[in-house]
Structure 1
Amino acid sequence: MSFDAIILGAGPAGSTAAIVLARRGFQVALVEKAEFPRRKVCGEFVSATSLAVIDRLGLGSTWRSLAGPEVRRVALFSGERVVTARMPAAHGAGFGRALGRDVLDDLLVQEASRAGATLFQPFRATGVRPSGDESAVTIASRDEEATLSAPVVIAAHGSWEPGGLPSQLQKTNAPSDLLGFKAHFSGARLEPDLMPLLVFPGGYGGMVWADRGRLSLSLCIRRDALAALRKEAGGGSASDAVHRHLLASCRGVRAAIGEAQLQGQWLAAGPIRPGMRARYRDDVFRIGNVAGESHPVIAEGISMAMQSAWHLAEELEAIDPARRAERDAAGRRYSRRWRAQFGARILAASAIAGLALRPAGARLMGGAIEALPALLTLGARLSGKTKTIAEMSNERVGVGRMRLS
């Protein structure tokens, strides 16, 4: 089966790219291994900087009707410290909100199908190889296997799952690895406009109100710290150890979820792979976490995924995708745009996480923020909460060419 573009992964990055390209006349294949709706380890917060993208995808009103309350304040919950400060507003966009990935991903993939993308779900991509001027992608489900071909291949499968694709990362297993956990709670006690940063021995995390009265709590913890917690408890599950550790470590967490009810089970994934990677290599474009990711401490993962997809789609619509030289040039331009948009926040996130993960650094950070709460506001600004993707024209996706200034 022949297409203009094959996108591997239908999360926020992959589905955003599929919607934009399909509306631009590309014949798009969207390949996703999981069945939706699905829960996924993710902070679930979407910065106001991405609201213009959501609006241009035609999902703005639906997203606003479902998402949790606007986040107008940030906080630090660390030990006995509970410090709050204002969240800086994004220019012309206001404040971000959170929506569960089980809801958001389903909305996006349905919109991709309506836009004309051909959805292969649940299918896993098992191989990518050159085939003349195009690439051949082998996909497989439980019952069948198929080969798709296209000049454009876009990896949007995230960075956590290893595999045999050229865009997948090698599996690691080091004591310093950061493992991700996520849970939803009902009946929590957290002010609706507040998104706290949680700092505890061995890790960091965050909480935010999402859809349907659910509090979304996500965190990262070092592999060696988690192993020590489980050993101290004499065994038991990793999620039980993490839950107990949070309650014991942070007064703010105890107040928020100490009497709350866990909805479903804790999810786990990882290790987290912060850093900047190749955005185009071996004739494969990369968007979302596989292109690069910040430490989740700044809650920018979904925004970076959707914005990277938008940047790439703009470059691809300006070329003849059948020409390798033009794809290479588009890959270089996209790489520069990606770094300009996200490089500073990745470095800022690394610095913040480095402090949070070291006992002395966490104490220093906590003391400084307690003395000067405005540092929380500054941290949110440095992490990209006010850096909009660009001013867009009044045209909707699919009508004329949109340019990002």
Structure 2
Amino acid sequence: MNIYDVIIIGGGLAGLTSAIDLSINGFEVLLIEKDEYPKHKVCGEYVSNEVLPYLKRLGVDISKTKADQIQRLVLSNRKGNSVRVELPLGGFGMSRYALDNLMYEKAKSSGVEFKFETVTDVAFEDHHFCIKTHSAEFYAELAIGSFGKRSTLDKKLDRDFIHNKTPWIGIKAHYQNDDFPDGEVQLHNFEGGYSGLSKTETGAVNFCYLAHYDSFKQERSVEDFNKNIVAQNPKLNSFLNNADLLFDKHLAISQVSFQNKNAVENHMLMAGDSAGLIHPLCGNGMAMAIHSAKLLSDEIKNYKNHRSRYQLEKNYTQIWKQTFRKRLIFGSLFQNILLQPKLTNIGMLAVSKSPYLLKKMIQQTHGKPIL
């Protein structure tokens, strides 16, 4: 029979991180992911340096890659008025295409087994999970859900947030722009949304934005929206006019939800975006996914000793809230400010006079290095 210690559903950053950590600590791990690597995803592709020590301990050494070393943030309002500040910890720019594949190769070499299929059903009975795909059934004492922002499995688990429609759309593509500086992440406001720009390991610039559907639906296509709405910000207009699209088309994801989620659903342990999603403007979603996987892996390793599912679920829920709740609150606050022009202008004036204030705001959505 296909029996494992832990089955992970979803092979994004959280799923891959948990798989590596648990496997190198003696667990038999199966990771089920619907798409093979490498692949592009809608993502800001900026990662806070807080995760570097932990990743290196897992055998994923970012310093040996060509990731862009990011030290500065540029923030602009709709009129293109901007402020620049040094990031407290810094970060790195790396595509999900490269980072996920790097971690996938590490997971394979660590003994993680992969199945590239779609999970069709999850059942918990007699203290074990039965997880079904179109071709087989797999069994494990523990299951991790790391299937992203929104999934059909969320519906099967009848999660509260899945019943509410959300107005957010995410768009992403890579561009070639020779004028874009190294070592910089930019965040630019436009009507109904905001965009992030940063270089990846190939030198291409990741152009990713979140837009409100009411603003987006005014145009017939992503290209029209970029030209008529996004480009109203002079900074973004300059970027788009001097950049060449490297993808065949923009990637998109709809119904992006920032509502509260439970860290445990029907005994399944949630990690990454499946446990909670910070607003993308905070630039820390990827680091949070990795960190949440670390917290969960630590609790599972403790569970191996005391064997109390109740204690495992209670501990993980508590530590997840303690670690991320404040970040999510500040992320929501910052997004509300950025989407209101008057508040944005007041904020821009304040941080331009005191860049230290912007640094303190950044620190509220970032953590300390994970040692």
TM-score grouping bracket, smaller chain normalisation: over 0.9
Matched, 1:165 2:163: no
**Structure-2 change in CA distance of 1:300 and 1:152 (3 Å):** same
Counterpart of 1:138 in 2: which secondary structure? Answer: strand
Provide the rounded CA distance (Å) in 1 between the counterparts of 2:138 and 2:34.
15
Q: Which residue of 2 aligns with 1:15?
A: 16
TM-score normalised per structure 1: 0.86
Q: Which residue of 2 aligns with 1:374?
A: 356
Gaps spanning 5+ residues in structure 2: where? Answer: none
Partners of 1:226 and 1:241 within 8 A in 2: no
Aligned AA (1:343) = R
Among residues 365, 387, 398, which one is paired with 2:368 in the alignment? 387
Q: Which residue of 1 aligns with 2:6?
A: 5
Counterpart of 1:319 in 2: which secondary structure? Answer: helix
Aligned AA (2:369) = T
Provide the rounded CA distance (Å) in 2 between the counterparts of 1:201 and 1:161.
28
Among residues 149, 159, 175, which one is paired with 1:185 in the alignment? 175
Counterpart of 1:72 in 2: which secondary structure? Answer: strand
Aligned AA (2:355) = P
Aligned length: 366
Counterpart of 1:211 in 2: which secondary structure? Answer: coil
Matched, 1:71 2:54: no
Counterpart of 1:272 in 2: which secondary structure? Answer: coil
Matched, 1:146 2:127: no
User: Post-superposition shift, 1:25?
Assistant: 1.2
Matched, 1:292 2:276: yes
Provide the rounded CA distance (Å) in 2 between the counterparts of 1:173 and 1:280.
22
Aligned AA (2:368) = K
Counterpart of 1:53 in 2: which secondary structure? Answer: helix
User: Post-superposition shift, 1:188?
Assistant: 4.0
User: Post-superposition shift, 1:162?
Assistant: 3.2
User: How do 1:212-291 and structure 2 match up within 5 A?
Assistant: 212-228=202-218, 230=219, 235=220, 237=221, 239-245=222-228, 248-264=231-247, 265-291=249-275
Provide the rounded CA distance (Å) in 1 between the counterparts of 2:305 and 2:118.
24
Provide the rounded CA distance (Å) in 1 between the counterparts of 2:326 and 2:164.
26
Aligned AA (1:317) = K
**Structure-2 change in CA distance of 1:146 and 1:100 (3 Å):** same
User: Post-superposition shift, 1:76?
Assistant: 1.0
User: Post-superposition shift, 1:246?
Assistant: 5.5
User: Post-superposition shift, 1:190?
Assistant: 2.2
Q: Which residue of 1 aligns with 2:105?
A: 110
Q: Which residue of 2 aligns with 1:88?
A: 88
Partners of 2:130 and 2:139 within 8 A in 1: yes
Partners of 2:150 and 2:162 within 8 A in 1: no
Provide the rounded CA distance (Å) in 2 between the counterparts of 1:172 and 1:319.
34
Aligned AA (1:345) = R
TM-score normalised per structure 2: 0.93
Which shifted more, 349-358 or 71-80?
A: 71-80
Provide the rounded CA distance (Å) in 2 between the counterparts of 1:260 and 1:24.
46
**Structure-2 change in CA distance of 1:184 and 1:221 (3 Å):** same
User: Post-superposition shift, 1:303?
Assistant: 0.6
Q: Which residue of 2 aligns with 1:126?
A: 120
Provide the rounded CA distance (Å) in 1 between the counterparts of 2:266 and 2:306.
15
Aligned AA (1:353) = Q
Provide the rounded CA distance (Å) in 2 between the counterparts of 1:53 and 1:220.
29
Among residues 333, 337, 341, which one is paired with 1:359 in the alignment? 341
User: Post-superposition shift, 1:171?
Assistant: 5.7
Partners of 2:190 and 2:230 within 8 A in 1: no
User: Post-superposition shift, 1:247?
Assistant: 5.1
Q: Which residue of 2 aligns with 1:328?
A: 310
Provide the rounded CA distance (Å) in 2 between the counterparts of 1:55 and 1:159.
26
1:296-316 Cα offsets, whole Å, 9 max, x none, are 110111111111011111111
Partners of 2:191 and 2:230 within 8 A in 1: no
Counterpart of 1:253 in 2: which secondary structure? Answer: helix
Counterpart of 2:246 in 1: which secondary structure? Answer: strand
1:209-253 Cα offsets, whole Å, 9 max, x none, are 11111111111000011112x1xxxx3x2x113321455322222
**Structure-2 change in CA distance of 1:347 and 1:67 (3 Å):** farther
**Structure-2 change in CA distance of 1:80 and 1:205 (3 Å):** closer
Q: Which residue of 2 aligns with 1:92?
A: none
Counterpart of 1:102 in 2: which secondary structure? Answer: helix
Provide the rounded CA distance (Å) in 2 between the counterparts of 1:27 and 1:353.
41
Provide the rounded CA distance (Å) in 1 between the counterparts of 2:199 and 2:15.
25
Provide the rounded CA distance (Å) in 2 between the counterparts of 1:224 and 1:81.
25
Partners of 1:81 and 1:370 within 8 A in 2: no
User: Post-superposition shift, 1:38?
Assistant: 0.9
User: Post-superposition shift, 1:295?
Assistant: 0.5
Q: Which residue of 1 aligns with 2:184?
A: 194
Matched, 1:345 2:345: no
Aligned AA (1:348) = F
Q: Which residue of 2 aligns with 1:45?
A: 46
1:37-79 Cα offsets, whole Å, 9 max, x none, are 111000011101010121012011xx22334322111111222
Provide the rounded CA distance (Å) in 2 between the counterparts of 1:40 and 1:171.
24
